[in-house]
Structure 1
Amino acid sequence: MKLLSVACPVLLAACAAPVPTAEDFIPEYKGVETKLLDGDLVQFNVAMTKAQSAEDVSDYAECAAAQYTLIRGYGFARHLRTNVAQEGGIWRADAVYTISPSLPRGLKTIDAEVTTQSCVEKGIPTV
């Protein structure tokens, strides 16, 4: 019986979940794939690990859209949709935006320059 009382705490310790470290919460951005669908309609596919929520992945896609908009010589984008999924620890987003030289109509518009600067400050990579 003495052997059992010594072995039980050791077995329980082996089953305990590891204590999270700061590195477990630092997102790893896995890249952006950009696809021009039509003249001003652009699709962004992004992937990352260690996202804390779907919003983190959506933010990554928005940062990509903002920088792409500037690269194309435009100043604004309008968000059309974002689909987010997680599988095997990898978060993915498929987002579609329109880009334009002037502020488009709609509620989900972004100023590409302001958004890109915000992304840089937050440490979120762009295209």
Structure 2
Amino acid sequence: MKAAWLITIAPFAACEPVPTAERFIPDYRGVETMLLADDLVQFNVSMTNALSARDVENYAECAAAGYTLIRGWGFARHLRTNVDEEAGVWTADAVYTISPALPRGISTIDAEVVSAACAEKGIPTV
């Protein structure tokens, strides 16, 4: 019985496309920033070919780090990130506070260090 099941399924397995390298190369589609207050910023990012929600979260963090440096400040604190995926397009809506000094809290980032790591990984910033 098991062999018959494999014979029935085998023709369908041959019809699935073989993944190409392009499927594993992230396509970063841009960042929108919204200043909510002097030190509170929302980042909306989108990308395709993410392997998980963590990829788009990393993209948002890189955007926050780049923006923080553009403002002439050195640190950010992550407040929240909402991630969604629809038809292969991943989006994230992330909110960070930015500051010239290390803020209180556990989800802080050193913008210079994070921006350098993003550049090494090929993840764009703002």
Q: Same fold (TM over 0.5)?
A: yes
Q: Distance in 1 between matches of 2:38 and 2:12?
A: 59
Higher Rg of the two aligned structures = 1
Residue of structure 2 in register with 1:117 after alignment: 116
Identity of aligned residues (%): 72
Residue of structure 1 in register with 2:56 after alignment: 57
Q: Distance in 2 between matches of 1:14 and 1:93?
A: 34
Q: Distance in 2 between matches of 1:13 and 1:107?
A: 49
Q: Distance in 2 between matches of 1:14 and 1:60?
A: 34
Alignment of structure 1 residues 63-78 onto 2, 5 Å: 63-78=62-77
Residue of structure 2 in register with 1:28 after alignment: 27
Q: CA deviation at 1:16?
A: 1.4
Unaligned runs of 5+ in 2: 1-10
Structure 1 residue runs of 4+, over 4 Å off? Answer: none
TM-score (ref. length: structure 1)? 0.89
Residue of structure 1 in register with 2:4 after alignment: none
Q: CA deviation at 1:87?
A: 0.6
Q: Distance in 1 between matches of 2:104 and 2:46?
A: 29
Q: CA deviation at 1:13?
A: 6.7
Aligned CA-pair RMSD = 1.2
- Give CA deviations for 1:24-73 in whole Å, capped at 9, x if unaligned: 10010000000000110000000000000000000000000000000000
Q: Distance in 1 between matches of 2:77 and 2:13?
A: 51
How many residue pairs align between the two structures? 116
Unaligned runs of 5+ in 1: 1-11
